[in-house]
Copies of this chain bind each other. A is one copy, B any other.
Amino acid sequence: MRQPATSARAATPSAPGSVGDVRKANLVRVLSVIAAAGEDQRLSRADIAQLSQLTKASVSSLVADLLAAGLVIEIGVHRDGERGRPSVGLILNPTRCVMGMEINVDYIAAGLVDLKGKLLAHGILPRTNHGSTASEVLTALGELSQTLQEAARSQGLMILGGGLAVPGLVQEDQFTVLQAPNLGWVEQNLDVASLLPEPKTRFRLFNEANASALAQQQLMDAQDRDFLFVSGEVGIGGGLIIDAELFIGPQGHAGELGHVVIEPDGKRCSCGGRGCLETIAGQEAILAAAGLGAGTDNASRQERISQLYQALQSGTDVAVNAVAEAGKSLGVAVASALRLYNVSTVVFGGHFAALEQWLRPAMEASLHEHAPSIADQARLLRSPLGQTGALVGAARSVVGDLLEAPYQLVD
């Protein structure tokens, strides 16, 4: 069971090498040119020919297929003030979309993302998922999905596929969650068939940090082709983008920054190890260090987190120090990760984004202390992604798959 390892993409058809493959490749080429166009840009066939290095004749023929497949539509345009025959604008079909979904510890979410990667509609439902079985959660998510499917119908949107993000290790090809300690799941098989209406063309399962990294990618400059996204949720996840592609490693679990060893003689971790980053910079670890550990005042985690922010705002030493300590450890983990991956940009999301002002000084100092030769080029960014980040990323990745295999939709 060989997995496409580094990107989990439907690899270029490696079957025979016939002339037909050229057309497949060129369909992708044309489509990617159209997809890369700016928001209000309406490329003509002539523009595409120039950008894609194909001839006008080829482009016309390829575009005809894409129109037939419904991936692209024509928009008549009369360019004022210029001579010559006016061009016909071509854009990605705005009525085609993909459903993105997320199951997190404290909520479920779903939304519709168009072929441009824009979130058209979404719903977030608070829900305590820890302890629920997968099927219970999926039932709730299925209802949320139904609501969005109706919204899609009323707006004339066609749903072409779906992506689901969960906070844990996944085995994508079998729709299985291998481990999601924060959900209390071990080896849960997800029956995702009911989440989407027919005809879906593709459904994929993602780790939450990986999906968020994909969403973050959309927000970055086009030249930022490499970065590490660090997701501070209940656990600490990581998603790595290399050469503008998600790098997931041989079994799809690369980027697990939360279990990088920071203190060889440190505390026991939930993973069974010792001294992992999560034991110092995980949500519960920070809370505990700030004197707000589980059980304090019988408060829920949400309440304790609120208390933490209050304490930070008022400058309470124990809280400030707890976060600074986490920042120091994050700096160490980042130093090692940057060395191993050879990336120079790190984007922090989740509670790390929220804690930024208290985290950053210690983190930067630690990075300079432990890897001065790369610290100066390193960029540490705060992610603006909110609760919809993971679902958008999951959907966007499925959109990417569709755009890279348009011939599956061409008759």
**Taking beta carbons and an 8 Å cutoff, which residues of A are in contact with B?**
1-7, 9, 11-12, 15-19, 21-22, 25-26, 29, 53-54, 225-226, 238, 242-245, 247-257, 259-264, 271-276, 328-329, 332, 335-337, 339-344, 366, 369-373, 404
Q: Which residues of B contact A341 (CB under 8 A)?
A: 249, 254, 340
A260 partner, pick from B247, B252, B336, beta carbons under 8 A? B336
Q: Which residues of B contact A244 (CB under 8 A)?
A: 2
Q: Give A227's nearest chain B residue, CB to CB.
A: B250
| Contact (Cβ within 8 A) B53 A254 | no
Known: A264-B263, A340-B254, A373-B273. A404 touches B5 (CB 8 A): no
Q: Which residues of B contact A256 (CB under 8 A)?
A: 339-340, 342
Closest 7 CB pairs of A and B: A249-B342, A5-B243, A254-B342, A272-B372, A226-B250, A17-B26, A253-B342
The secondary structure that dominates the A interface is loop
Q: Which residues of B contact A248 (CB under 8 A)?
A: 342
| Contact (Cβ within 8 A) A245 B2 | yes
A340 partner, pick from B1, B25, B257, beta carbons under 8 A? B257
Cα–Cα distance between A260 and B335 once the two chains are bound (Å): 7
Q: Which residues of B contact A53 (CB under 8 A)?
A: 15-16
Q: Which residues of B contact A344 (CB under 8 A)?
A: 250
- Chain B CB count within 10 A is highest, among A9, A249, A261, for A261
Cα–Cα distance between A5 and B371 once the two chains are bound (Å): 22
Q: Which residues of B contact A238 (CB under 8 A)?
A: 340
| Contact (Cβ within 8 A) A261 B21 | no
Q: Which residues of B contact A257 (CB under 8 A)?
A: 339-340
A261 partner, pick from B5, B242, B370, beta carbons under 8 A? B370
A1 partner, pick from B12, B366, B370, beta carbons under 8 A? B12
- Expressed in whole angstroms, the minimum distance between the Cβ of A96 and any Cβ of chain B is 22
Cα–Cα distance between A337 and B336 once the two chains are bound (Å): 9
| Contact (Cβ within 8 A) A274 B370 | yes
- Chain B CB count within 10 A is highest, among A245, A264, A329, for A264
Q: Which residues of B contact A261 (CB under 8 A)?
A: 262, 332, 335-336, 370-371
Q: Which residues of B contact A54 (CB under 8 A)?
A: 16-17
Q: Give A371's nearest chain B residue, CB to CB.
A: B273
Q: Which residues of B contact A4 (CB under 8 A)?
A: 243
| Contact (Cβ within 8 A) B25 A17 | yes
Q: Give A2's nearest chain B residue, CB to CB.
A: B243
| Contact (Cβ within 8 A) A1 B226 | no
| Contact (Cβ within 8 A) B332 A271 | no
| Contact (Cβ within 8 A) B1 A260 | no
| Contact (Cβ within 8 A) B1 A9 | yes
| Contact (Cβ within 8 A) B260 A340 | yes
| Contact (Cβ within 8 A) A1 B373 | no
| Contact (Cβ within 8 A) A1 B404 | yes
- Expressed in whole angstroms, the minimum distance between the Cβ of A24 and any Cβ of chain B is 9
Known: A53-B15, A245-B1, A255-B340. A264 touches B21 (CB 8 A): no
Known: A249-B242, A340-B340. A371 touches B259 (CB 8 A): yes
Q: Which residues of B contact A2 (CB under 8 A)?
A: 225, 243-245
Cα–Cα distance between A245 and B1 once the two chains are bound (Å): 8
| Contact (Cβ within 8 A) B370 A339 | no
- Chain B CB count within 10 A is highest, among A7, A11, A249, A329, for A249
9 A-B interface contacts by CB (under 8 A): A1-B404, A2-B243, A2-B244, A5-B226, A18-B22, A248-B342, A250-B344, A259-B336, A271-B372
